[in-house]
Structure 1
């Protein structure tokens, strides 16, 4: 078989530019993915809070895949491309191109999701656009047949990539969580609920979407706190299903209202929080009602009753009138907490509200 000969030598300028494009895109993607991963894992956002696009996207079904935060896959993907970039030869270039192409497909989908929802997260945009830039650099690197050949290329690139992941994660996981945000006047709705509580009982108003991952995360930590203060707190759940991003949330909200109407509101809420989001369909909610020994006919009648939907619509309006802008939103007495919360903050608020 004849020798194919040496690989074609690429023009130095374009060759180095393709490697530089790839390295820069990897660095930007690793930093953005690391920042996002911190915010998705910690109980409250460290880098990207404030009720903006980042926080809203964290509440969607796209925030995790099989329980794993989406930024973890992004970080893993960028790191894999970074490893391929540090190696030389046609196989390394092909691996980089294949990984970059896969990343670009995912990034295009996620950009389309943000566009469809009209919700944009700055770190997500950096990571997604970085994937597209990385694909361009990878195509040119593959076609020109170039590698990172400058002096100390591998330790320089490798060290940069490690620091790009380690510094944001080190800072993010060690930084104290932000305190509850400053708030304006207490809404009239909250004042009325506080005034109607028995003496010595703390009112907790929980605006919730049962499909929201951060509502679920907060409930998991808050439930034991409420149990410890049982008898001294009164929990009022207001339904705010975000149907645009959580397609099963309305069925769950109706089920919660019916559970409450039939005398098992707390039990139904716990069951809804514990059920996988994909099972929060009407059929799934009816199964939960059966497990809770609720009369099937009465539950179905309540579920179909227009007044139940009217109640949900009314509570959505109350949420907006109270200045709500993110979920979960929890009022403990006159204090408001927005977004996923550290249970310690919530328990401290109960003590303050009770005067303890």
Structure 2
């Protein structure tokens, strides 16, 4: 009986060797090994991405709640969900996302508003900082609507990536939306909104924002948040809103 088992094991080993040889010669073995390595790498990458996302989500919970007295809000001020964007006027992705965010609010039936907070990246300065301060001057002189109208014009006018709207053209942009040119220039030259812009930047850094657009969607009733960094397509944003409203 023991000899019979030994013969069986020998037979199995010979068959295994022959199969492996055939697979090796046909290239099937190499392909399967490569596929296995690919699957292992994919799992490692997915795990590596999951960890930063989890950390990002944890930090996003500390985002400052929307404050109508301070924040620039597009849409219904009492909406259930806010898209809080930390943005840079010289960021080409922010320029593209600007219309996406507006569309999200316009199609939400009053359930979503959009909050703009400044996050001028260092390599886009001085243009990004200067343009952010200019939008604050527009808000000072013309209120919330003026902020959004002026922001639209800045994004339309800038070539992006730090090239910026020429400083001498910032005041003429303000006159296009009916602001007093002398008052606007005086405000911008004073630099009095520099601290406000930097407050937003520091606040964003403290909650894990590292690039733009840095987006956090927040249910203003429950406090639940979802981090959605980058110029996401509107379908992704609508899915996040639906999740927050469930």
**What TM-score do you get using the length of structure 2 for normalisation?**
0.63
Pairwise CA RMSD: 3.0
Distance 1:279 1:287 in 2: 15
Change (3 A) 1:195 1:304: closer
Give CA-to-partner distance per residue, 1:87-123, whole Å, 9 cap, x none: xxxxxxxxxxxxxxxxxxxxxxxxxxxxxxxxxxxxx
Query: What corresponds to 1:224 in structure 2?
Result: 103
Give CA-to-partner distance per residue, 1:238-290, whole Å, 9 cap, x none: 11112324542112111121222222111112112222324523222212111
Q: Is the 8 A contact 2:93 2:230 kept in 1?
A: yes
1:307 deviates by 2.8
Query: What corresponds to 1:209 in structure 2?
Result: 88
Distance 1:350 1:306 in 2: 37
Give CA-to-partner distance per residue, 1:283-307, whole Å, 9 cap, x none: 2221211111111122122213343
Change (3 A) 1:209 1:200: closer
Task: Pick one of 231, 235, 241 that aligns with 1:350.
Answer: 241
Query: What corresponds to 1:299 in structure 2?
Result: 184
Distance 1:297 1:336 in 2: 41
Distance 1:319 1:221 in 2: 21
Instruction: Indicate yes or no: 2:113 matched with 1:234.
Output: yes
Distance 2:195 2:82 in 1: 24
Alignment of 1:130-145 (within 5 A): none
**What TM-score do you get using the length of structure 1 for normalisation?**
0.45
Q: Is the 8 A contact 2:96 2:231 kept in 1?
A: yes
Task: Pick one of 287, 301, 308 that aligns with 2:172.
Answer: 287
Query: Structure 1: where are the runs of 5+ without partners?
Result: 1-46, 52-177
Higher relative contact order (CA 8 A, sep 6+): 2
1:185 deviates by 4.3
Q: Is the 8 A contact 1:202 1:233 kept in 2?
A: yes
1:186 deviates by 3.5
Q: Is the 8 A contact 1:251 1:281 kept in 2?
A: no
1:221 deviates by 2.8
Query: What corresponds to 2:35 in structure 1?
Result: none
**Bigger-Rg structure (1/2):** 2
Give CA-to-partner distance per residue, 1:2-24, whole Å, 9 cap, x none: xxxxxxxxxxxxxxxxxxxxxxx
Distance 1:198 1:214 in 2: 26
Task: Pick one of 147, 158, 164 that aligns with 1:276.
Answer: 158
Distance 1:286 1:223 in 2: 25
Give CA-to-partner distance per residue, 1:9-48, whole Å, 9 cap, x none: xxxxxxxxxxxxxxxxxxxxxxxxxxxxxxxxxxxxxx9x
Query: Structure 2: where are the runs of 5+ without partners?
Result: 1-44, 70-75, 219-224
Instruction: Indicate yes or no: 2:84 matched with 1:193.
Output: no
